[in-house]
């Protein structure tokens, strides 16, 4: 019984670590379709953290729309919190909303790749 509990705890810790790291595998290529699949299905941007100092929905500025939410993956958040430049694999998605704060008007994804 103790062995099963220990295996469960170790497995849970492993998968939690994958979720917190921002990805469960390799980063996607910069191809638009594959990148879109990655940020909407493989590692949905809505599950990422908020950009430091930008928690939740905030008033936007031209040209971004009335309201915005800025999401960042674990790689980008770590660099931002440490005051470092964005490393390869850093992803930021700015979600632009209408005046009703509910209508998604546009997404602006940013992705740091090698080169």
Model pLDDT for residues 7-58, shown as the tens digit of each residue: 434 333 333 333 344 444 578 888 889 999 999 999 999 999 999 988 999 9
Place of tokens 């290529």: 29
pLDDT value for 104: 94
* Residue 7 counted as domain residue: no
pLDDT value for 25: 54
Q: What percent of the chain has pLDDT over 70?
A: 78
* Residue 42 counted as domain residue: yes
Q: Collect all residues with Cβ–Cβ distance below 8 Å to 28 and sequence separation of at least 6.
A: 34, 35, 37, 38, 42
Domain count, the chain: 1
Domain that holds residue 87: 26-111
* Residue 15 counted as domain residue: no
* Residue 18 counted as domain residue: no
* Residue 17 counted as domain residue: no
* Residue 14 counted as domain residue: no
Question: Long-range pairs for 33-41 at CB < 8 Å and ≥24 separation?
Answer: 35/109, 35/111, 39/91, 39/93, 39/109
* Residue 74 counted as domain residue: yes
């Amino acid at each position: 019984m103790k062995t099963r509990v220990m295996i469960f705890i170790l497995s849970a810790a492993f998968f939690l670590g994958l979720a917190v790291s921002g990805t469960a595998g390799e980063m996607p290529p910069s191809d638009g379709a594959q990148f879109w699949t990655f940020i909407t299905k493989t590692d949905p941007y809505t599950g990422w953290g908020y950009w430091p100092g930008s928690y939740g929905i905030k008033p936007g500025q031209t040209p971004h729309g009335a309201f915005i939410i800025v999401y960042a993956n674990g790689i980008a958040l770590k660099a931002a919190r440490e005051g470092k430049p964005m490393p390869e694999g850093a992803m930021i998605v700015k979600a632009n909303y209408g005046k009703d704060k509910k209508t998604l008007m546009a997404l602006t994804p940013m992705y740091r790749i090698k080169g």
